[in-house]
Amino acid sequence: MPASSLMSKGSKAVLALLLGCVSGVGATAQTTGGAVVGAVPIPGVSQIGLAALARDAREHLRALIRLDTSNPPGRERLAADYLKSQLDREGIEAQLYPSTGTRATLYARLRGSGAKRPLMLACHTDVVPADRGEWTVDPFGGETENGYIYGRGAADNKSMCAAELAILIQLKRVGAPLQRDVVFFAAADEESGEGERHIDRLIREHPELFAAQFAINEGGITLWENGRVVEMQIQAAEKDFLDLTLIARGQSSHPAVPSADNAVAALLRASGRLCEARFPAEINPVARLFLERQAESAAPLLARAISDVLAAAPGEPLDRAADRLANLNPEFSVLLRDTLTPTMLEAGYKSNVVPGRARAVFNARLMPGRDPALFLSRLRGMIQDPGVEISAAAASSAVVAAMPLEDELYRAVESSAVRFAPGARVVPFMAPWSTDSRQLRLQGIVTYGVAVPMSAQDGQRVHGKDERLALAALDWYAAYLFEVVLTVAGAPAAGKAAMQ
């Protein structure tokens, strides 16, 4: 569906003002001297255009990178305070929700008419730690070189926070009426992966904050090659994250007189059974559409393997086809079944002492819709040893299904991609990792992951050394996301009001 069929005339007028009526904005953003060119001045609308949006997003990203919010220990309050200061300056209501003295989540709201439920723009302000000794630049310097900005969080996830902040501020400046509130949710503690995170506590203590109908978050993949977007994988589902602990107990003794009641041996037997477990394959609608699109451009051997999976009957035929695909492309095969991987082993303290306790940790990634409690019960049956305990951290029966792909937000995400990235492949994607989208979806919020563009090579720098982002990619993302927001949240009279 073309973008013009989704957007009201008023919304399109606001977009024209914001983008400065840039010819060809859907293709690539050209830069010179670090500034975007091509934004045409609009009479009566000062400093509004593509250049202003891009400039603001760049400035916010540089400022956020320079705030060390490594998790652990966190210190997201630094970023939250910065975001709030920018919103306060524009008269946008914003509030901090602290968890400790150094950690806080920011929640802001640009009010609309309330005709429809809110649209949430989500991101997270914490980053993984950076070893300064491994970097060639200061990981918290926000340095720019050859069209790139370097720093921890440049890609994950401060660039998204910067773009969303710039969008919210520009919406306020043009005074465009909205049929929905636009909520900005900059979360703390996304990167920890352990225990109860701040978003869980906020949902429990302030459920009224999560009344949105739609949300845009991280989690997808947008490929950037030679200054343009060539593929957008829109995250419409993600595998659930479950840590499992096995504990075996036995008789502590001297190894010179072995005992049959050996905790280490029992743990190894139980762990071996889990490592050899073969979980049944399945195809949900998101994975099916993703594989269909990938088969169109895959090498012949891989395309045949994908076709075999798509044509296979449920049960053993699908299992065999999934196994063949795994041999060719493990990244595709994990979209078809649960996975279980050992990550930690712990036993003993001296080579000549048989320990009375041994422990192993497994990490499971579950298909959308899988009941974690039932999965845990199945593993107990596989272990076949009542002397080995298995438990899951925060196991629950909460089930998160894949997103529908037929709603107003997904249509806007897809149609705007056609306009801004002509010729690019756009496909829904199921992520094998976890994000805050899981918690949002559990609240009934239809949530899609729309990633900042980056090359495959730069994607390998995420969580690694010399993380960076192409500035032109940030410019493109801010403009693209603005159109999506305006399509979903803008009221019909938006453009007319902005031009008065």
pLDDT at site 263? 97
**Tens digit of each residue's pLDDT (9 = 90 or more) over 442-493:** 999 999 999 999 999 999 999 999 999 999 999 999 999 999 999 999 987 5
Is the pLDDT reported for residue 27 higher than 50? no
pLDDT at site 463? 95
d(CA 17, CA 357): 68
Element (H, E) at 165: helix 158-174
Is the preceding omega at residue 285 within 30 degrees of 0, hence cis?
Answer: no
pLDDT at site 196? 58
> Quick one: which of 476, 414, 496, 482 has its CA closest to 448?
414
pLDDT at site 180? 98
Is the pLDDT reported for residue 394 higher than 80? no
- The answer to whether residues 398 and 3 touch, using CB atoms and an 8 Å cutoff, is no
Instruction: Report residue 33's pLDDT band, with 50, 70 and 90 as the boundaries.
Output: very low
- The residue with greater pLDDT, 337 or 48, is 337
What average pLDDT does the structure give for the chain?
89
Angle, CA of 254, 259 and 263, to the nearest 5°: 90
Share of the chain above pLDDT 70, in %: 87
* HEC string for 99-129: EECCEEEEEEEECCCCCCCCEEEEEECCECC
**Tens digit of each residue's pLDDT (9 = 90 or more) over 105-150:** 999 999 999 999 999 999 999 999 999 999 999 999 999 999 999 9
Least confident range from 29-38, 109-118, 286-295: namely 29-38
User: What secondary structure letter does DSSP report for 370?
Assistant: -
pLDDT at site 398? 72
Strands ordered across the beta sheet of 148-150: 144-145, 148-150, 468-470
The first and second tokens of residue 478, run together, are: 């801010």
pTM of the model: 0.86
d(CA 455, CA 139): 20
| Gyration radius from the chain CA atoms | 25
The dihedrals phi and psi of 30, each to the nearest 5 degrees, come to: -85, 145
Instruction: Report residue 311's pLDDT band, with 50, 70 and 90 as the boundaries.
Output: very high
Is the pLDDT reported for residue 42 higher than 80? no
Is the pLDDT reported for residue 251 higher than 80? yes
Instruction: Report residue 500's pLDDT band, with 50, 70 and 90 as the boundaries.
Output: very low
Task: Please state the rounded mean pLDDT for residues 218-232.
Answer: 96
Share of the chain above pLDDT 90, in %: 80
d(CA 163, CA 483): 12
- The answer to whether residues 416 and 484 touch, using CB atoms and an 8 Å cutoff, is yes
Instruction: Report residue 433's pLDDT band, with 50, 70 and 90 as the boundaries.
Output: confident
Task: Pick from 21-35, 237-251, 386-400 the range whose average pLDDT is largest.
Answer: 237-251
pLDDT at site 219? 93
Instruction: Report residue 395's pLDDT band, with 50, 70 and 90 as the boundaries.
Output: low
Least confident range from 84-98, 370-384, 481-495: namely 481-495
pLDDT at site 241? 86
CA distances from 462 to 75, 150, 157, 174 (A): 20, 11, 10, 35
Instruction: Report residue 332's pLDDT band, with 50, 70 and 90 as the boundaries.
Output: very high
Write down the domain spans for the chain. 3-238+400-499, 283-337
Is the pLDDT reported for residue 29 higher than 70? no
Task: Please state the rounded mean pLDDT for residues 146-168.
Answer: 98
Q: Residue 281, exposed/middle/buried by CB under 10 A (0-12, 13-18, 19+)?
A: buried
Is the pLDDT reported for residue 44 higher than 50? no
Which CATH superfamily groups domain 3-238+400-499? Zn peptidases (3.40.630.10)
pLDDT at site 201? 92
Least confident range from 11-15, 240-244, 267-271, 496-500: namely 496-500
d(CA 55, CA 53): 6
Is the pLDDT reported for residue 316 higher than 70? yes
Tell me the pairing of strands 425-431 and 228-238: parallel
Is the pLDDT reported for residue 188 higher than 80? yes
In terms of phi and psi (left: phi > 0; alpha: psi -120 to 50; beta: otherwise), the region of 185 is beta
List the beta strands (DSSP E) in 348-472: 357-366, 388-392, 425-431, 446-449, 468-470
Is the pLDDT reported for residue 43 higher than 50? no
Tell me the pairing of strands 339-347 and 357-366: antiparallel
- The answer to whether residues 239 and 365 touch, using CB atoms and an 8 Å cutoff, is yes
The first and second tokens of residue 59, run together, are: 């400035």
Interacting residues of 127 by C-beta distance below 8 A, sequence separation 6+: 69, 70, 71, 152, 153, 156, 157, 158, 191
The dihedrals phi and psi of 341, each to the nearest 5 degrees, come to: -130, 130
Interacting residues of 380 by C-beta distance below 8 A, sequence separation 6+: 390
Instruction: Report residue 194's pLDDT band, with 50, 70 and 90 as the boundaries.
Output: low
Instruction: Report residue 193's pLDDT band, with 50, 70 and 90 as the boundaries.
Output: low
Least confident range from 36-45, 285-294, 404-413: namely 36-45
- The answer to whether residues 50 and 39 touch, using CB atoms and an 8 Å cutoff, is yes
